[in-house]
Amino acid sequence: MPKFAARLQYLDIFIGAFALNLLIIFSLWGVGEEKFVYLHLVFDTSNAILSMLLAVFLSGERHAILPRVRHYLVIAFCFAAATELLHALVGIEWEGSFAWIETYSGMLRPATWPPSTYVLPLAMAWSSVLIRRNATLSPVLFAAGMAGVTLALYVLSFGLPSYVDIGILGIRRPTQLPLLLLWAVVIAIYWRRRHEHRLYEGLAMMGALLFLSDVCMLFSTSPHEHYTMMAHAGKLIAYVMLHVIQMRIAAEDSQARDDAELALHEEKNRLKIALKEINQLAFYDELTGLANRRLLNDRLQQTLAARQRAGRYAALIFIDLDNFKPLNDVHGHTTGDLLLVSAAGRITACVRETDTVARFGGDEFVVILGDLSADRAESISQALVIAEKIRVSLGETYRLTLNSPGAEEALLEHHCTSSIGLAVFNRQHSPEEVIVWADTAMYQAKDEGRNLIRVYQQR
């Protein structure tokens, strides 16, 4: 189980509930019991409903405690709700077919009180023992055991001394002090386990308020006087406090889940950014952003295979910038890089989105034109149109911004032509073979005066 900080996380809620409890105690002090006949029934019914709601919310929440432990607590609050509800029902003024309950209510109401107060601490104590021993008792067996305990408490309640004659006083003397001792043990057990989960802290605090309510019950002299109302009001506050703590735990868990999901999402965005960067470094030229040789070979291999299946031609255009080295020598590599980036943009603007533009190395670029005509001569014509667009575009004036350390920004106008070689293909060749064809045609263009386009003629 996860560990939590040693500080009290819900001390503010407990202090508020405790203060409210004291306020109710002082407000009820000295009020006559005739005021509380119906209030007593309201408290009993409310406590039964709150206890059942605690069971429902516990069963729905997925706290970071073992499922079997959560099931034990759900069963505990279910039995507490059932016994509390039975205690409230026998206090109603029944008429008609149920009038017999009213006849025996003087005997039934005191007898149903011990089970309604003992069931919850006994169930909590038993579940804590199972938790400590790491027992794997099934929830069904736990519920069966609690049913037996509850039945035994009812049988024992009818056997308490003199309860018929003196009512609540006869019940209080033999049961209240052991109940206080039981609550003290339960509080201590769950308080020691509060570091394992925040819910245990809330259960210990609830036990403390129920302990205080049972202390008030110790001084009770009748079912409807102010000490009895103090005890029932204290139980109501204890249940409400645990509801508040449970809602805060749920909110904190929800926030923690949201934070974890956000962190996971950010982390995924970072497998993705990193993968994109790795992919960029592996397959794209760092300077121009064009495909590098590795990606060029892969795309060319795919194009070769596709053209053979389709029976249509594709073309490879090999481009070399004329007189690029003097620009580097005179103005530096930074200026040369600016020209390469600008040239890459111009080439890309001349081709289709389905075509591939790659930087082969230095001032050399390669373009793969796919899906040309099924006729060789027509395919050459189609490729020459695009190659001519590239030649004209690359021959236009470049305006490069120069940034020299310690000097003002300057604009350099530079003219640069290109030599272009072209090869068409429609059969299965190796990528290297096709590149050699286009490269050969490019050198032919250079040898014949540059700023030319030449087509490789297969022999």
Write down the pLDDT at residue 58: 84
Q: Within its chain, how far is the Cα of 299 from the centroid?
A: 40
Kindly state the average pLDDT of the residues 102-121. Answer: 76
Q: Within this chain, do residues 131 and 199 fall inside the same structural domain, yes or no?
A: yes
Assign 1 a pLDDT band (cuts: 50, 70, 90). very low
Range with lowest mean pLDDT among 214-218, 262-266, 277-281, 304-308? 277-281
Q: Within this chain, do residues 221 and 353 fall inside the same structural domain, yes or no?
A: no
Residue 267 falls within a domain, yes or no? no
Q: Within this chain, do residues 249 and 397 fall inside the same structural domain, yes or no?
A: no
Write down the pLDDT at residue 2: 43
Mean pLDDT of the chain: 84
Write down the pLDDT at residue 205: 93
Assign 80 a pLDDT band (cuts: 50, 70, 90). very high
Q: Within this chain, do residues 243 and 103 fall inside the same structural domain, yes or no?
A: yes
* Whether 354 contacts 421, CB under 8 Å: no
Residue 286 falls within a domain, yes or no? no
- The domain of 306 spans 293-455
Range with lowest mean pLDDT among 5-9, 81-85, 152-156, 340-344? 5-9
Q: Is 197 helix (H, G, I), strand (E, B) or coil?
A: coil
Give the pLDDT confidence of 157-190 residue by residue, as tens digits.
776 654 444 444 555 556 778 889 999 999 999 9
Range with lowest mean pLDDT among 101-110, 114-123, 214-223, 247-256? 101-110
Residues in Cβ contact with 14 at an 8 Å cutoff, skipping those fewer than 6 apart = 8, 205, 208, 209, 241
Question: In 3D, which of 22, 2, 4, 20 has the Cα closest to residue 12?
Answer: 20
Task: Provide the Cα torsion 344, 349, 350, 354; round to 10°.
Answer: 100
Kindly state the average pLDDT of the residues 343-356. Answer: 94
82 vs 98, which has greater pLDDT?
82
Q: Within this chain, do residues 56 and 124 fall inside the same structural domain, yes or no?
A: yes
Q: Within this chain, do residues 254 and 327 fall inside the same structural domain, yes or no?
A: no
Domain's final residue, options 262, 284, 306: 262
Residue 86 falls within a domain, yes or no? yes
Q: Within this chain, do residues 363 and 244 fall inside the same structural domain, yes or no?
A: no
Domain's final residue, options 262, 279, 313: 262
Q: Within this chain, do residues 211 and 351 fall inside the same structural domain, yes or no?
A: no
Residue 270 falls within a domain, yes or no? no
Q: Within this chain, do residues 76 and 203 fall inside the same structural domain, yes or no?
A: yes
Residue 288 falls within a domain, yes or no? no
CA separation for the pair 60, 351 (Å, rounded): 61
Write down the pLDDT at residue 166: 45
Residue 301 falls within a domain, yes or no? yes
CATH value at residue 154:
1.20.1070
Distances (CA, A) of 266 to 86, 275, 395: 54, 14, 46
Residue 285 falls within a domain, yes or no? no
Residue 201 falls within a domain, yes or no? yes
CATH value at residue 309:
3.30.70.270
Domain count, the chain: 2
Residue 197 has pLDDT above 80, yes or no: yes
Q: Within this chain, do residues 181 and 227 fall inside the same structural domain, yes or no?
A: yes
Assign 14 a pLDDT band (cuts: 50, 70, 90). confident
Domain's final residue, options 240, 262, 284: 262
Assign 63 a pLDDT band (cuts: 50, 70, 90). low
Q: Within this chain, do residues 242 and 324 fall inside the same structural domain, yes or no?
A: no
* Long-range Cβ contact pairs of 127-136 (< 8 A, separation 24 or more): 127/69, 127/72, 127/73, 127/76, 128/186, 128/189, 128/190, 128/193, 130/68, 130/72, 131/66, 131/69, 131/72, 131/193, 136/68
Q: Within this chain, do residues 181 and 239 fall inside the same structural domain, yes or no?
A: yes
Give the pLDDT confidence of 85-109 residue by residue, as tens digits.
888 777 666 556 655 566 556 666 6
Q: Within its chain, how far is the Cα of 236 from the centroid?
A: 35
